[in-house]
């Protein structure tokens, strides 16, 4: 097989989906899969078969979700910069809900809905000013992040929603960040939502839906020990800490925790290069196939598949071929003595790997391969 390529373990994907479903179903929680984590159609059709909804952040993601069979009432549309064309597209397909990120967006959705003779379901995306304690590039719920409507502007948002006749604001949405491993962040989120519920009750706005976003982290260092995220701990925390109202549907938007561990980026060693300072392993995958390390210093487990079990370990800097110094997958990575032609696996790349690929340096798009299915 030509390297680099994305390898997907569909059995692990299915086991993960079974776990998500059973743990979420126990509390009657609704899970939408965040397409931006991985929108590979083969993976999507499996995810769809487990009856998850879809969380989309662009018109093209809505189109992809529809193509693979997600039903419009199962599709939510988030994003801080929805274009008029994307809003119209969502309205024309009668998607379930727009997660609305500003007062101006409420007015724009209302106007477009009016022109199409529609009424849009809207969830107000609220910025709760909670620190997700994750990398600052994937923190979204602090006051200086671009996402959502600040708590101070909620009164105005409610007044506006009451005036506008082509939106129905019956939900709130919060997503505070990604790769969250400290569960106290989710607890703080619940405390905030409990307060928000009282605020909206005072405003006489009935919240039929609460959408708590995604963000559940995965174990990038020990993907085999923790192949499936702690969905039970995650959902049961929300069940305990959230003051749910009668007939209220609670939604989540999980991306990473569903697909990260089922993917590996497979690559060959092109060169082993010793310098005064260090020893480099130059592989044929780069930041064009996996941007996370360059973009937010993400760490992935790296394995030499050609030398499993060999003991003579050394420390290498694992780098790609792209003309950028940030094109580095790991420093001081312990691998058995590595040689040109060895097959290298970069683990846990199922989320934000293939979807963030680029053609920088005029690279060809890496293909995907899948484990055989029964």
Ligand X SMILES: *Cc1c(COP(=O)(O)O)cnc(C)c1O
Q: Encoding tokens for residue 256? A: 């990473």
Specify the stretch interacting with ligand X by CB under 6 A; choose among 87-95, 207-215, 241-249, 306-314.
207-215
Specify the stretch interacting with ligand X by CB under 6 A; choose among 255-263, 292-300, 306-314, 320-328.
255-263
Pick 215 or 223: Cβ nearer ligand X: 215
Q: Encoding tokens for residue 340? A: 């040109």
**Region of residue 214 (left: phi > 0; alpha: psi -120 to 50; beta: else):** beta
Specify the stretch interacting with ligand X by CB under 6 A; choose among 13-21, 29-37, 274-282, 302-310.
29-37
Q: Can you list the alpha helix ranges (DSSP code H) found in the chain?
A: 10-25, 41-49, 59-67, 84-92, 103-116, 154-163, 184-202, 231-241, 256-259, 292-296
Q: Is 350 an interacting residue with respect to ligand X (CB under 6 A)?
A: no
Select the residue interacting with ligand X from 229, 254, 265, 294 (CB under 6 A). Answer: 254
Closest separation in Å from C-beta 188 to ligand X: 17
Secondary structure class of 48 (helix, strand, coil): helix
Pick 140 or 267: Cβ nearer ligand X: 140
Select the residue interacting with ligand X from 53, 59, 148, 255 (CB under 6 A). Answer: 255
Q: Encoding tokens for residue 105? A: 């967006």
Residue with the two structure tokens 């604001």: 169
Q: Is 256 an interacting residue with respect to ligand X (CB under 6 A)?
A: yes
Contact yes or no for 143/127 (Cβ under 8 A): yes
Closest separation in Å from C-beta 198 to ligand X: 24
Q: Is 215 an interacting residue with respect to ligand X (CB under 6 A)?
A: yes
Torsion of CA 133, 138, 141, 147, to 10 degrees: 170
Pick 253 or 327: Cβ nearer ligand X: 253
Specify the stretch interacting with ligand X by CB under 6 A; choose among 115-123, 248-256, 313-321, 362-370.
248-256
Pick 133 or 324: Cβ nearer ligand X: 133
Pick 80 or 272: Cβ nearer ligand X: 80
Q: Can you list the alpha helix ranges (DSSP code H) found in 134-183?
A: 154-163
Torsion of CA 3, 38, 288, 262, to 10 degrees: -40
Select the residue interacting with ligand X from 12, 17, 19, 36 (CB under 6 A). Answer: 36
CA gap 242, 189 in Å, rounded: 9
Select the residue interacting with ligand X from 38, 178, 261, 349 (CB under 6 A). Answer: 178
Binding region for ligand X (CB under 6 A): 34, 36-37, 55, 57, 78, 175, 178, 213-216, 253-257, 351
């Amino acid at each position: 097989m030509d390297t680099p390529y994305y390898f997907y373990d569909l059995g692990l994907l299915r086991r993960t989906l079974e776990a998500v479903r059973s743990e979420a179903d126990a509390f009657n929680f609704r899970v939408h899969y965040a397409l931006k984590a991985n929108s590979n159609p083969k993976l999507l059709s499996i995810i769809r078969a487990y009856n998850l909804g879809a969380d989309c952040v662009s018109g093209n993601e809505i189109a992809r979700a529809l193509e693979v069979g997600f039903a419009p009432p199962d599709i939510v549309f988030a994003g801080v910069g929805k274009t008029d064309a994307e809003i119209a597209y969502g309205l024309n397909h009668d998607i379930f809900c727009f997660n609305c990120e500003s007062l101006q967006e409420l007015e724009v959705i209302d106007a477009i809905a009016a022109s199409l003779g529609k009424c849009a379901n809207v969830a107000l995306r609220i910025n709760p000013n909670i620190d997700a304690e994750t990398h600052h590039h994937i923190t979204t719920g602090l006051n200086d992040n671009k996402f959502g409507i600040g708590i101070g502007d909620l009164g105005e948002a409610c007044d506006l929603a009451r005036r506008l006749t082509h939106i129905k604001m019956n939900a709130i949405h919060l997503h505070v960040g990604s790769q969250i491993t400290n569960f106290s962040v989710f607890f703080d989120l619940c405390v905030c939502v409990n307060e928000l519920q009282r605020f909206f009750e005072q405003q006489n706005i009935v919240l039929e839906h609460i959408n708590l976003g995604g963000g559940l982290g995965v174990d990038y260092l020990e993907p085999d020990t923790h192949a499936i995220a702690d969905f039970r701990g995650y959902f049961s925390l929300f069940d305990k800490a959230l003051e749910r109202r009668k007939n209220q549907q609670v939604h989540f938007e999980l991306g990473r925790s569903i697909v990260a561990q089922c993917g590996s980026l497979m690559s060959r060693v092109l060169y082993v290069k010793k310098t005064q300072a260090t020893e480099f392993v130059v592989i044929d995958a780069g930041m064009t196939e996996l941007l996370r390390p360059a973009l937010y210093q993400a760490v992935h487990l790296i394995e030499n598949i050609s030398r499993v079990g060999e003991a003579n370990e050394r420390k290498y800097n694992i780098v790609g071929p792209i003309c950028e110094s940030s094109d580095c997958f790991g420093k001081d990575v312990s691998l058995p003595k590595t040689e040109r032609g060895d097959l290298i696996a970069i683990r846990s790349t199922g989320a934000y790997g293939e979807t963030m690929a680029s053609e920088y340096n005029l690279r060809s798009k890496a293909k995907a391969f899948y484990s055989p299915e029964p």
